[in-house]
Structure 1
Amino acid sequence: MGAIHLIRHGQASFGSDDYDQLSALGTRQGSWLGLAWEAADFRPHWSVAGSLRRHAQTAVAVLDAVDGDLYDVDAGWDEYDHLALAGEKVTPTTDPREFQAHLDAALGAWVSGAPSPVESFAEFSARVLRALDEAVAQAGSGRRVAVFTSGGPIALVASHLLAGDASLFIPLNRVVVNASVTTLIVGRGGTRLLTYNEHGHVPADQVTFR
């Protein structure tokens, strides 16, 4: 039986001029996961990251700890453009809770098929599920796959595995912790969700959601 570990990137730089950059804490969060893998003598057989900088930086922080091989890149694992979707400029003074409420409203309209300035939700879903198919193929029998991605793709995959559709996407997306691990098992019975949003490797006072 194979396994796929979906890793959300570490904390990014919310409110800065460049969100797609790990904060100092985000880098530490990735390192903590790598150290947990090292302690457990865990190493993936194949790793892949989305094409965003925060995906690459998280992959490096984690894999360095376990002397992991280089990772492949698949833009299918990229996050939707949440800043464009929310339709507002984020500044260092933007309140995260206010922004989240605005984003949740925009996500509801996006999922329902309303016109948006970014790719449609159907297009987003199709590319993420194509990327998942490749990861499933790589998992094979008894292989461990690590995927470095974002909260949106993780929530979409989990929703499809739990409900058969995207109906759980928004509530699952809202709670994905930075540097958390969601594990899927791949076997004769198909692909199933084993655990969601594991983050015990992150100290409780260092848990973040953006």
Structure 2
Amino acid sequence: MSSVYLVRHGQAGTRDSYDSLSDLGRRQSRLLGEYFASQRIEFTHAYAGALSRQQQTAVEVSRAYAHAGLSFPEVVVEKGWDEFNLDQIYRDIAPRLCEEDSEFRSDYETMREEVKASAGVQDAEVHRRWRPCDTKLVEAWIGGHHAYRGETWDQFRERVTACRLKLGETQRDANIVIFTSATPAAIWAGLALAISDDRVRRLAAVLRNTSYTVLGLRGEELRLFSFNEVPHLRVPELRTHR
């Protein structure tokens, strides 16, 4: 059975410029690499999604291995591990929710005002907290209740699930690390546990930045060995969700 380490990317940027690691996100990623190296975890394969924050996390981990004098496999970019496009979902679905739901509209408008007021301030609360309007938006997207021009939830889930076929091409007893995002990692954990889409969403919501989730893979069989581990983040101020 092969081991698959699903790593969520480090803390990213602000809401209006999210796809790049913050200074803290780079530190979290370096600490993860140093921890893996200290445990002498030898990866046979490494993958990352095509998003900048995912690839930047991979770079920091790889550098930590090099600094420790250990080898690290070349990182293969695989778009199947990309997160869903929250910005596009907001553009398409938020206007309809504003018409239907006064609470959503109020929270969404407040959030937009706070984003404008916090320009250039990475640690502003608006950038680091998942809001009720975020939850309602994602629930509406998953439910498919509104016309949407982008990737649907079902298409997204199928894309992430299909990555299993490519991993199945690796040799037996491989040690694979994948730099991805919260929802793809939660989808894979959900496959192992056979849980509903709503529970997958709830799993994604609790994943910390640079946490790793370990699964066993043999053919079509998936087993969940651990979830949301952050032994490298020893103090509370290093542990973030956003």
TM-score over 0.5 (shorter chain): yes
Who is 1:13 aligned against? 13
Quote how far apart the aligned CAs of 1:121 are. 0.3
Range that drifts further, 154-163 or 49-58: 154-163
Range that drifts further, 82-91 or 66-75: 82-91
Who is 1:26 aligned against? 25
Q: Distance in 1 between matches of 2:240 and 2:192?
A: 25
Contact between 1:42 and 1:66, CA under 8 Å: does it hold in 2? no
The answer to whether 1:104 aligns with 2:129 is no
- Name the Cα RMSD after superposition: 2.1
Match of 2:217 among 182, 186, 195: 186
Who is 1:43 aligned against? 42
The answer to whether 1:124 aligns with 2:128 is no
Compared CA separation, residues 189 and 136, structure 1 to 2 (3 A): closer
Secondary structure in 2 aligned to 1:119? coil
Who is 1:55 aligned against? 54
Who is 1:84 aligned against? 88
Quote how far apart the aligned CAs of 1:70 are. 1.7
- For residues 17-52 of structure 1, what are the alpha-carbon distances to aligned partners after superposition, in whole Å with 9 as ceiling and x for unaligned? 421010010001011110011111112100010000
Q: Distance in 2 between matches of 1:37 and 1:98?
A: 28
1:116-195 alignment to 2 at 5 Å? 116-138=148-170, 140-187=171-218, 190-195=221-226
Contact between 2:192 and 2:223, CA under 8 Å: does it hold in 1? yes
Letter of the 1:75 counterpart: K
Q: How many residues align?
A: 208
Letter of the 1:84 counterpart: Q
Q: Distance in 2 between matches of 1:74 and 1:189?
A: 20
In structure 1, runs of 5+ residues without a counterpart are none
Compared CA separation, residues 98 and 41, structure 1 to 2 (3 A): closer
Secondary structure in 1 aligned to 2:14? coil
Compared CA separation, residues 170 and 71, structure 1 to 2 (3 A): same
Q: Distance in 2 between matches of 1:113 and 1:134?
A: 28
Contact between 1:85 and 1:103, CA under 8 Å: does it hold in 2? no
- For residues 125-161 of structure 1, what are the alpha-carbon distances to aligned partners after superposition, in whole Å with 9 as ceiling and x for unaligned? 11101113322432x4211001000001111111222
Give TM-score scaled by structure 1 length: 0.90
- For residues 89-139 of structure 1, what are the alpha-carbon distances to aligned partners after superposition, in whole Å with 9 as ceiling and x for unaligned? 55436725775311111111111122335310011011101113322432x
**Higher share of residues assigned helix:** 2
Contact between 2:128 and 2:241, CA under 8 Å: does it hold in 1? no
